[in-house]
Amino acid sequence: MRIRILTLAAIAALYALPVSAHVTIEQPQAVVGSTAKVTLRVPHGCEGAAMHTFKVLIPDGVTNVKPMPKAGWSLATVKAKLDKPLAGDHGASITEVVHEVVWSGGNLPDDQYDEFVLRGAMPASAGTIYFAAVQECAKSAERWIEIPAAGQSSGDLKMPAPRLQIVPKP
């Protein structure tokens, strides 16, 4: 009986391995319109090589993005003009948003993991948003950019984009 329990536990652990190999978001949910911290977990480098650059595409509807600097990494943001201005805090008008955050020049060995953090104002409506991410290494890249189609789950995808569920206010 004890051997059978250990075998079932070992099988369950094997099935869990592919999921843990994905770039994920630590927090499963954020509240509509709130300012939330988004922690992206990167579980390894690329195919045995160290990661030197990590890029994150900011989903539509997420504004006021501020990435957290990381020791040993350079930080840059790419901004995009909005077609239609949004109402911001204190009556301000938002005409451009951070479209992409790039941490570069660092070193994440393949046998280690790290976290990359940003904060921003979440969308005004509930639903799932995706933070497409790309890991760049010396000779390859891992593109976590796949978004499930209607009726499909992220678990059906080989390289799913990290997702965050936006929930209504309590």
Neighbours of 43 (CB within 10 A): 16
Q: Are 46 and 137 in contact (CB under 8 A)?
A: yes
Contacts of 9-16 with CB under 8 Å at 24 or more apart are none
Answer yes or no: are the C-beta atoms of 28 and 39 closer than 8 Å.
no
- DSSP H or E stretch at residue 8: helix 2-20
**Is pLDDT above 50 for 6?**
no
**Is the separation of the CB atoms in 38 and 117 below 8 Å?**
yes
- Residues 6 or more apart from 2 whose CB is under 8 A from it? none
First to last CA, the chain: 46
Q: What is the pLDDT of residues 65-102, one digit of tens each?
A: 999 999 999 999 999 999 998 887 777 888 999 999 99
* C-beta separation of 63 from 119 below 8 A: no
Separation between Cα atoms, residue 66 and residue 120, nearest integer Å: 6
Whether the per-residue pLDDT at 56 is higher than 50: the answer is: yes
pLDDT tier for residue 19 given thresholds of 50, 70 and 90: very low
pTM reported for the whole predicted model = 0.85
21-167: CATH, from 3.50.50.60, 2.60.40.2230, 3.40.1410.10, 2.40.70.10: 2.60.40.2230
Backbone angles phi, psi at 123, to 5 degrees: -55, 160
